[in-house]
Structure 1
Amino acid sequence: MMKSLLMLAVMFFLGYEGYRVHSLSKSGAIAAAVVGYAIYLGFGYKGLLILGVFFVTSSYWSKYKSAAKEKMEEKLAKGGARDWRQVFANGGAAALFSVIYYFSPASIWLIGFAVSLASANSDTWASEIGSLSKKAPLYIRTFKRVEKGTSGAVSGLGTIAALSGSFLIALISVWSLKLDILAGGIVFLFGFIGNVIDTLVGAFYQQLFVCRLCGLETEKRMHCGQRTTRIKGISLIENDMVNFLSGLIAAILAMVVLHFSFFL
């Protein structure tokens, strides 16, 4: 019990440090502590290592050449510091699988945990690194060039980054969680598939708004001090929901594939 309380205190301290360096907002710091503690309950220090790799690398790429991304961020709902919605969008599925594993320690939940973080890392790397591409990305609904930061758009650099981000988490998972090659390959493949799902849902179902003053198409509900007008998408399907669903769906698909592979 004492060890568990000490770890909870450590999680809140790390959340505070994330807030202090502007990687997390106040709500994001609290959410990160909750997610971290949930993962510790299920997978201990090994799970925290994988979460830490995701958080550190994604924070690094978010800040890398941030000046070049300022114009793009006008289109995006997220800001520089992650709030609680963004933390749960990226780490909520992993925390859920960790808690389930804590009460029912079956290896299938471990795969769901690893895939959900591989998907989050793949999507974050694709967005942050892909935005630095010299060429404008292609919108998958029309295959026409669009502005950087458009949800549902892809680039060659972003795709390579997505594959690299998923591969890193798969590699760390194989090493720390003692996964075999098949399981590691599934984590890598479905981590990247999570990014693909994110792109598809972003293109077809995610909400998009337009500013009535400047005419900018954006994911933000407020721009130029006024509420924006929705021009596309389904209510409640915004960027954080897309991130959460893509990771969760990819994890479930991976668990289904792994489950049936044992019976082939």
Structure 2
Amino acid sequence: MIFIFLVLIAAFLGYLLQLLTMSGALAAIVVGVLISIGFGWKGLLLLGFFFISSSLLSKYKKKQKQQIEARHEKGSTRDWQQVFANGGLPALFSVLFIIFPSPIFFIAFTITIASANSDTWASEIGALSKRKPLSIKNLKQVEPGTSGAMSFLGTFAAIMGAFSIAMIAMLSYSLSFSTMLMIFVFGFLGNILDTLLGAFIQVTYRCPACDMVVESKWHCHCQTVYLGGRTVVNNDLVNLSSCGLASLLGILFFVTVAGG
């Protein structure tokens, strides 16, 4: 009950601080409660670190990121789809751990959070790079905030994002160094997969008014023109898919190589 109360307080504060929409706060409660039941305060610690760090980074130098946010379908205040895109799989693995208390689901749980944290840190910190990122499609410079692009600063942030979650997991659960390393590697791999999916599958549009490449069907109060990608694949689905793929690959490695 104490954990559930803390989840309610955190969601309420997130809404008051405009970190979450009302739907996002309700989704955060669902995710937080399920994780608290499955993995207790240690699971909430990992989730809380991801949420707090990503929220603070999204607000850091917000004015400098306004042009970048204009490209994205949604802003930094997270709705229920964004919450479930990053927290839905950890909640699912928590439920599976309750039903089938296997270390496989714990590994998957930590990898998904490490992947989400890695991708978020890459996006929020990489957006502040003084050099334009390179598109992995053609290795040409593109505007900051373009999906499927990488920068040195963003990549370093992605590494640190995955590593921080892996370290917290190791210290909280007294994991071995090899397990921590596995969580880190597959967490960072999730960011790489996110970049690949963003480059080759995520839908993009062009605004006829300002000629900006965006992720939304509407921009500058007018309908945008389809450029490429799958129309059903937005950033939320890319985030969910990359975390899912990273966790599945991590499970496969854990079972076949690590002897889990």
Deviations 1:245-264 (A, max 9, x none): 10111011001101112459
Match of 2:239 in 1: 243
Match of 2:25 in 1: 29
1:123 pairs with one of 98, 119, 122: 119
Distance 1:115 1:79 in 2: 25
Q: Check if 1:261 corresponds to 2:257.
A: yes
User: Alignment length, in residue pairs?
Assistant: 260
Match of 2:168 in 1: 172
Q: CA deviation at 1:230?
A: 1.8
Q: Determine helix, strand or coil for the equivalent of 1:135.
A: coil
Q: Residue 130 of structure 1 aligns to which amino acid in structure 2?
A: G
Q: CA deviation at 1:175?
A: 1.1
Which stretch shows the higher mean deviation, 8-17 or 39-48? 8-17
Match of 1:105 in 2: 101
Match of 2:128 in 1: 132
Q: Determine helix, strand or coil for the equivalent of 2:115.
A: helix
Match of 2:48 in 1: 52
Q: CA deviation at 1:227?
A: 2.6
Distance 1:106 1:154 in 2: 36
Among the aligned pairs, what percent are the same residue? 46
Q: Check if 1:95 corresponds to 2:91.
A: yes
Q: Calculate the aligned-residue CA RMSD, in Å.
A: 1.3
Deviations 1:167-208 (A, max 9, x none): 000000111122211111110000000000000000000000
The normalised TM-score by structure 2 is 0.97
Q: CA deviation at 1:236?
A: 1.4
Q: Residue 201 of structure 1 aligns to which amino acid in structure 2?
A: L
The normalised TM-score by structure 1 is 0.95
Distance 2:259 2:115 in 1: 26
Q: Residue 13 of structure 1 aligns to which amino acid in structure 2?
A: I
Distance 2:56 2:10 in 1: 16
Q: Check if 1:154 corresponds to 2:150.
A: yes
Which stretch shows the higher mean deviation, 209-218 or 64-73? 209-218
Please tell me whether the aligned partners of residues 70 and 214 of structure 2 are also in contact (alpha carbons under 8 angstroms): yes
Q: Determine helix, strand or coil for the equivalent of 1:144.
A: coil
Q: Unaligned stretches of 5+ in structure 1? A: none
Deviations 1:35-85 (A, max 9, x none): 111111110111000001101111111111111101111111220211111
Match of 2:195 in 1: 199
Q: CA deviation at 1:11?
A: 2.1
Please tell me whether the aligned partners of residues 4 and 36 of structure 2 are also in contact (alpha carbons under 8 angstroms): no
Match of 1:183 in 2: 179
